[in-house]
Every structure is written in structure tokens, then in C-alpha cells.
Structure 1
């Protein structure tokens, strides 16, 4: 019987490694830009075509490579950063993997041009599917230029599972944003289909955040800065009043590397406890500087997850640092005594006497006189006194003497009072401004008023989007809305659906938009916040199917505009809501699966009252 275990060819091994490292065009951008940073570049130009499917090019002004280094960079496990196993735990650079370039060349056509500053000529290297097709000296600028063409051209299954151009473009923006936020001293230029869409000149950290997130974010930022023996923590967090529904603009960085860390996210939320609503999230840009030996960055192929040696202690430090910064912001308001037009406070002079204050009275005022009546007579008969007794005609009558006509609810009679948080109405009861209670054949039905309205509005909005029946109402003063680079990349994918709802947006350039119109039925005074929330929701779902995007937008808008808890409803509003709810196809659950209503059966009530 022959042996069955054998070594894989390098080309296949590289494709397997590419599956771990290169997941989509954004992964290529990340790897190439990080290599440019390690080369000491101060200017990085990124060019993409067709969201990276056709071309990804990264040009830097770094130190370049020799002909031998250029060839060795595409060999598996080749690196300039690691010489022993101990070096894995003392890394300060990004592109140390030694798998990125071989993996990229295994699934794409790669062209490399590189020249060192002191060399007269550079090197041209062309590789396709891990095979070197050409290597020759050429004349080129100092630095390195790498072009990656036709990604996954030889792995059609992987290419077929790439998302739409809008989704892939959004992911590229996200990777650039994460890298740019930790390198404010580096200039970045992004060109898409030969059109420059992003330019980030050298700046400070706060200015870089403003460049990426929009100038409206500048007044929202509170600086944090704490240095301990375990770590240095610095960056910016958002003011509580600017908390958002979505989870955009939340970043953790460790030693200039972007990470995801749910445990530390809870520490930040703990610092905001009682300052923001339970369904809102603060924005933050938090940077950790720690000894590389106390973290492990190799627990995830893309290195977005990091294991800390002292996570519990860092959790406490982070929470206290954020809370202290928030406390300073809220507890120490600034007072400017030099403001022009300030009220002068008089100095007390005991030699001067103060006059008695005068009270103006009307001697002819009569509190019993009707405002409409010009003449009042105390002996005149009171008009309309019958209205005082309306509703008491049946009081004291036996139940069998009340006719069917008397049993009909009077919709103009709103309530008989509030006791224990229950609003009493002829057919419906509102309990604690949260639930609607109504009698049904099998018992007592309890309806959540906010969730019920979400269900009703969702069905309405999804019908408007699919039928493009939304009615737009022009605003008197258009609101100018600033989007971040990532949000601006997401907007084109949902623009048609926003217009179908009734939103009208005009691009002003540089990621700014003017809100010219809003859906006619929306009373929200802040349409910019609505659009921000819907974009954030679309970014979080990451869906690529049109119907899923439409449902995400409709659900987001329904949640933002539905009747909130704590609002007292009239009889007409409760009746209308109940009727509209049961006209929906799925009245029992919200679109995201939350229970809207429940029935307390007669037997359960009897059992509790025995």
C-alpha cells in the first residue's frame, strides 16, 4: 500500500496561506500600506479601480529595496523583522508576517517597482500566480510602487464570493481610516478610478480625527491622558450628549495597531453609566502604549484581536481614566468674566435709601367676568351648565337598565383619572405610559406601545421604499451634514432607498451634504441625526442584498421615529394603534424578532386571585 501523505507544491501552499491573510481587496490594501509604513514612507498614495477588483496600487517614498531584497520579499517566511523566536514578542512594526506578499502574488498579478535612494537604477519584478515572469533593472523614482491586478483571478470561487463594489469600497475606506488614525504624521492620498477622493495631509492626532470624521466632531471630543506602570492611555472620547444609536467611530489601538476588544468596550460604557441612554453608544479614539512583551498579537490571522497579560487591571485604569475626563468636563465649567455686555452688579451703598417697590393693580378687574363678555351681570343665568353633568346620566342606574346605545364608548371622553400609573379609558388602558391593556376573548392583552409602533412604521416604510411612494417635504433651511470618509463611502449604496422614503440630499463636496427634504410624516427636528443613524445601521449589518439593505433602513427609521415610552396616549391614538397593528401581517413580533404583545388568560388571572 503506497504512502498517502505528501508535501504540497509552493503555489498551492501560498494559496492556502492567502486564504488566511487575503480575504478581500481591503486586506491587500492593509498589507501593502503597512509595508510602506515599515519602509519609513512619509507619503503614501493608494489607487484602486473597481473597488480593488481590477487594480490596487500603493506608491510610497520609503527607503526602497535592492534587486535581491525585492525578489526575496516574495518568498514564504521571508522577513527583515525577525531573527529569533523571541522577536515575535518584541515587535514594534506592522508588516512582519512574511506571508503577505507571497500570499498576494499567489492569487493576483503583481508588478513591483522599487529603488533605494542611493541606487542609480531600480528593479522591476512581475509575478503572477506565484510564478516570476520578469525581473529587470529599470529607471524609477525612489521608494516602492506595487500594483496588484485582477485579485483572485486564478481562484474563481473566491472571486465569485466578493461583495458588491459599494461593500468592498467601504471596507477599503475602513482599513485606510484605521491606519491613518495611528499615523497622523503621514500624508495619505486615495484615488478611485482616476479621481482623487481622499487627501489627508500631515497633522496632529485631533486634526487627523477631524479630517476623517468631519469637522462637526471637533467640539464633541474630550481628551484623555493617563500614564501608569502598566500602560500609557491617551486619545479622545465623545461628550455624553453626542452619543449615537450606532457603534461607529469607536476605535481601540495598541502600539499603533487597530484592535477589537469587547472587554475594554464595556469599561468605556461603565464610565458613561447614567450619562447616556441604554441604547446609545459613545464615540471614542483610545490609544494604548504597552510593553510588547505583555501582549500577544498572534492569536488572530488579521491581528485585530490582542491578548493582554493584565487585562483586569487595564480595565480598571481605562474606566477610571475615561470617567475622570468626563467628570472634569461636566464638573468644571468655564466662566468668562471679560465677556462684553455682561450685567453690572451694583455695589451696596448704606447711605442711600431704597424706594418702596410699586405694584400696579387694576381696580376694575373682576375674576368672574368672561374674557369675551363686555358686560357682566351677577344675576344673569349661567349658559351651558348642562355640559357640567355630561357623563353622569347613567350614574346610579342598575346594569340592566343601561341600553345598548349607552354602552357605546364616548371617544371624546379621554379618562376618568390616573391611579397607580394606569390611565383608564372606555376600552383601553395605558399602564405607566408604556403598555396598552385591552380585553380580548381569551383574557387580557398587553401591548408594548413602542414596539407596536415600530412594527406599524416598518411595514409602512418598507412599502414606500419598494413602491417609491415616499412623500418629501422641503425644509425651509437646509441642514449641512458632515460625513466621515467611511460613511460617505456607504451612502451611495443606500441613496436610492433614502430618496424613496422622501429624503433629498445634495452633495456639496468633501463628504458634505445638504438635507433639502425629509419624509413628510416625520416630525423629528434633526434629519441629519436620522441619516447618520441609518448609515451606521447599514455599516453594521454589512449586508449586500438589496432587500436586506432596504429592511435595515426601514427598521432603523422606524425605531428612531416610533412613539417613545413615557408618552401618554389618547383614546383615539390607542384605538388607531391597535387597529393598525392587527392590520400588519406579523403583529406579534417586531422586524428584529422582539415580542410586541402577550395575553394573560382568564385562568391565569383567576389562579392569581384565589
Structure 2
């Protein structure tokens, strides 16, 4: 007797339902996809009992005649796939032909539908996979599908459902996703007879996104929906990094009108926002990628939540660069608002040449206009940055605003240090090349300015840290970070793991501006440090760099480790809380911010500045 048997049709449908119909939200998702594929521009969803008692989806799409309604209940019955070649380039949301028979096998299902050409519609009723009746009926053009008593005869599936509130939350999320994917379609959601969501097609995508995310501030636009590169187009809106939250945030990803969960796209967004997001924060917003259908396989998951790209590396780079370009454009917008008197300084487009070195591709550095000259003793940078006030145990290392070279620790400085308290009353207007008026410092950390009718608060450490970080990056990609020879070299004892890091990464450490030699045993001598960090204790910044390297025994550029090292160097070299700045030093800082390509966040993601409008301030004091 044969052991292999063909399963009955009803049992096969219920097995397929286990893959397709996970919960009530899965039913709503499948029915929404069918309505959108039918060309509907109005969709209404009604839910009762968390979706187990009733799910009703009404649309005004093209509808079906009696034959098509009956055929839709057959397994793999679909109007969207005709031959095997169609699977290579799928342009519709629903195509498997499993949703309707699978849902009908675990519920009481009624379909009422009419085409434009038919005077009457058709009603078909199925009771847990069994056809009950078929008859003509009067109805509007389109389709109405009712699903009642879901999982009533499959208690094992029903007992794994969550509370009604949780299930409704999943349904609401599905509806909002497809409302974003199809902004020209209006959506309505009713829960137990009460309308909880209405999104009319009269609102544009940005307004719809604000309503869905409950977010009222400005977005950062990404890409251009009318501009394509190799047939690819990315557009959307990002929540500014300073407004994001910890944990999984409100990032919605779409491909060719389909809401998905994709690690590659999520990682590309994270990489594009590197240096802008605080640790533990997640990006938020909406990104829609449109690519040729043959470049993506949407048939790798029964519920079609996941996709597979033919050229995943190219897609990752495309999304990452688009996000980076959006953030750079956002910097220009901020500069135009904060520094309106700034000279026009167009930014070069973000570009990675395929012939670049691996380091250049992985780090995505911007091109340095003037390569750094390499010599036995590197000349310190003549960039004008403010530096910190005297510290108890060492002399202050400062850079004069007239571009005097920095004075190394241990040398005699000819530059007088400004006093701890600066007088801004007479200097605040004429020291700025912009129309910003400096009010003063608060706790020797925050710089208060008046920019037009706005109050501007700047974190001096975060601002200086970002500027130094960008300078380090440009010098590194130029070939070598400018180094400064110490008048009195420092020796330090290293642990075995630290010694291994030094020995395995001598070339990288030298490229970062350090000169270190073995003195015997675990003792090393530091004779030069990066010029921009010359005011720091050599041993302190060197040990911090080693800590940033980790314990892998090598500097892994691919994991973003080098950016962390450069950020550590910039953090140590930047002015600190408690460092009083003179008006001239504040001028140098603001001028550099006005010229920088990136300035709004420190390399660790903390915001550099915060503006308060006149209306906000008046509201605080009830003057409105």
C-alpha cells in the first residue's frame, strides 16, 4: 500500500493558510494588495472583535464578473501571472493566487463584486472552504470582501493570537504602510463601528506622512522622485536625527509600492546617517525605492515581507549615498538659514570612483582639494580653531587667530591666552562675517547668539569636535594626517594586547599622525602626535586611540572602526566644557561652521545647535 497520498483540497488550503494567514492583519494585507492591484482609489476597511469577528474591505476597483469570482477561490488562480517569465519581473502586489482560497478555508467568506460593464454584480459565499451559494445582486462597481469568524474552526491558531488591541495595532500598521505606498488612494479604517483613521487622496505624501507619524516638525527630503540612475529612483523623507528616539523607530521602507522589512536597506540608511545618529537611536521616516522589477525578487517569502536584490551591493551603496547627499543638502539649508551672509560655496556631489582604493570606498571620504604634503616632520595645520583654556598640570596649547603655528606642550608659547571672561557688548557685531550677533557664553560651554529673530544656542565642544573630525578625515584620505613632533617625547607602558595592536597597525598609526617606537619590553616612546590634537597629552590620546581599535589585532576599516578612532581624536582635541572663549575665538568657530560641509552634529551624533523662534519664546512667557 502506498505511503504517499495526495492531500484533500480543503486540507491543502488550510496548510497554505498557515503560511499566508498568520493573523487578522495578514488577511487585511492580502485584501488591500488585491484592491490596489485592481486600480482602486478608495478603500474602506472595517474591523470588529480585533479582526476575528469581522474584516470587511470595500474598494472601487475594476471588480470581477461571476466566472472570475469563482476562479479566485481556486488554488493558484490569479490574473497577474501568465507564464514562467512573468516571475522574473513581478509588477503587482499580489500574484501567488493563494490568498483568497487560504482565507476562505479558515473563515466564513463573502465576495460581492461588479465590473463597469455589468448591470448586476455577483455574490459568492464560502463557509470554511465549502461553497454555499452564488447569485446575482445589485451593487456598486468594485469589490466588497467580508471575512467572519476567522480561525473559529482552527482553535490551535486562534489561541496564539494576542489581545484585540494588539491585533488592531498590526492592522492599523498595515493600512498606514499601504497608505504611504499609494498616496493617490484614500483609506478609511473603522474599528467596532468607530472611524479611527481617514486619509484622503487630496493630501500630498508629506502631509500624509505627518499625519501617520504624528510628527509636526520639518522633514529632511531624500532623493528626487523624477530623477533616475540606472533605472533606480529613491525618494522619501527622514526625521532629523536629533528628533529620533531609542529602539526601533518609525522607519518605513518600500520597494515598487510594496511595504517590506529589509536589513540591507535599513543598514544602508544607518550608514548614510553615520555621524548624525546618537548611539542607540534609530532613523525614522519614509523611503521608497523604485527599481526595475527584474532586479528584485519578491517571491522569497510567503507573506512577501522580504525581498532579495540581484545586485545587493549596488543597491546598498545607492541608498547610502542618497541619504548622505540628503544630509549634506540639509547642511546647506541650515547654513542658509543661520548664516545668510555666507558666500556661496557649492558642494561637490558625493561620488565614489570605482578605481578608488578600498579605504576610499569604505570610508566615503570627500576629496581633499590640496593633498597633504608628507615629510619627515609634518607641518602643523594652520587652520584657525579655538583651543582650550590653561589646565592645572600643563600649559595651554592654543592657535592664534592670525594663523600662528600651534605651540607644542613643553615649548614656550608667545601667544597670550585670553581671559576667562570675554566682553561681547562691543565686539559681537563687528567680529562676525555673518549677521549673527553673539550674546555671550553660558557656563563656558554654550554660545548664545541672535540670528535674525531666532535665539541660537551652540554647544562649543560638539561644534569644534565636528570641525576637527572633518579635518582629520580629509587629511587621512589625502594620504597622511599632519603630525607635530614633541619637544619632550613621552614613554608609556602597554599591556600585551595593546602591544599587539601597535605592532599590527604601525602603518595605520603613522598615517594617523603618530610616531611611536619600541623602547624595550612593553615600553614605547611617542615622539609625534596629530597636529590638530597637539594640545592633548600624547599618552592620553594615544591610549584612547588604542581603546577605539578594540582587541581584534587590526584596524578594520569596513566596520567603521576608523571613523570611531578619528572621532576619538577629534573629541580629545576639541574645546571642552569650562573653556572660556574670547570673541575672536568664537568668531573663528562660527566662521568655520559657516563654511563647513557638515556641521550640525558631532561625530557621535549629538546636535551642535538648537534654535528657538521668537514665537516660541513669547509663548514661554505668555506674550502671545
Shorter-chain TM-score: which interval?
0.5 to 0.7
CA-to-partner distance for each residue in 1:174-220, whole Å, 9 max, x for gaps? Answer: 1111111100100001111111111000032212211211242x413
State the SS of the aligned residue for 2:119.
Answer: coil
TM-score for the superposition, normalised by structure 2: 0.53
Match of 1:209 in 2: 209
Q: Does the Cα contact within 8 Å between 2:44 and 2:57 map onto a contact in 1?
A: yes
Equivalent residue runs for 1:249-288 within 5 Å: 249-288=250-289
> For 1:119 and 1:171, how far apart are their aligned partners in 2?
36
> Cα deviations across residues 133-164 of structure 1 (Å, max 9, x unaligned)?
01011111221111000001111111121111
Q: Give the corresponding residue for 2:174.
A: 175
Aligned-residue CA RMSD (Å)? 2.5
Task: State how 1:142-157 maps to structure 2 within 5 Å.
Answer: 142-157=141-156
Q: Is the contact between residue 222 and residue 234 of structure 2 (CA under 8 Å) also seen in structure 1? A: no
Deviation digits for residues 370-421 of structure 1 (CA, Å, limit 9, x no counterpart):
xxxxxxxxxxxxxxxxxxxxxxxxxxxxxxxxxxxxxxxxxxxxxxxxx999
- Could you list the runs of 5+ residues in structure 1 that have no partner in the other structure? 340-344, 347-418, 423-610
Number of the residue aligned with 2:312? 311
Structure 2 SS opposite 1:227 = coil
2 CA distance for matches of 1:176 and 1:167?
15
Q: Distance in 2 between matches of 1:245 and 1:420?
A: 35
Map of 1:118 onto structure 2: 117
Q: Does 1:76 align with 2:75?
A: yes
Aligned to 1:165: 164
Matched, 1:234 2:258: no
* 1:427-576 mapped onto 2 (5 Å cutoff): none
Note if 1:334 corresponds to 2:341: no
Question: How far off its partner does 1:75 sit?
Answer: 0.6
- Does residue 138 (structure 1) correspond to residue 171 (structure 2)? The answer is no
Which residue does the alignment assign to 2:186? 187
Distance 2:46 2:53 in 1: 11
State the structure with more CA Rg: 1
For the residue of structure 2 that corresponds to 1:152, the secondary structure is: coil
1:53 corresponds to: 52
What's 2:561 paired with?
none
Secondary structure of 1:219's counterpart equals coil
Query: How many residues are treated as equivalent by the alignment?
Result: 345
CA distance in 2, matches of 1:77, 1:282: 39
Query: Cα distance, 1:330 vs. partner?
Result: 1.7
2:299–2:307 Cα contact (<8 Å) kept? yes
- Separation of aligned partners in 1, 2:137 and 2:207: 39
Moved more, 219-228 or 103-112: 219-228
Gap change, CA 1:124 and 1:273, over 3 Å in 2: same
Residue in 1 that maps onto 2:353:
none
Residues 314-363 of structure 1 deviation map (CA, whole Å, 9 limit, x = unaligned)? 21121111111111112442249999xxxxx99xxxxxxxxxxxxxxxxx
TM-score calculated relative to the size of structure 1: 0.54
Q: Is the 8 A contact 1:230 1:314 kept in 2?
A: no
Deviations 1:275-324 (A, max 9, x none): 22111112131111111111111111111111101111121121111111
Q: Is the 8 A contact 1:221 1:238 kept in 2?
A: yes
Contact 1:222-1:238 at 8 Å conserved across structures: no
Is the aligned partner of 1:41 residue 2:43?
no
SS of alignment partner, residue 135 of structure 1: strand
Q: Separation in 1 of the partners of 2:262 and 2:118?
A: 44
Contact in 1 for aligned 2:223/2:233 (Cα 8 Å): no
Secondary structure of the 1:57 match is strand
> Which ranges of structure 2 fall in alignment gaps of 5 or more residues?
342-428, 431-536, 541-624
In structure 1, how many angstroms separate the alpha carbons of the residues matched to 2:239 and 2:339?
28
Structure 1 CA distance for aligned equivalents of residues 89 and 44 of structure 2: 29
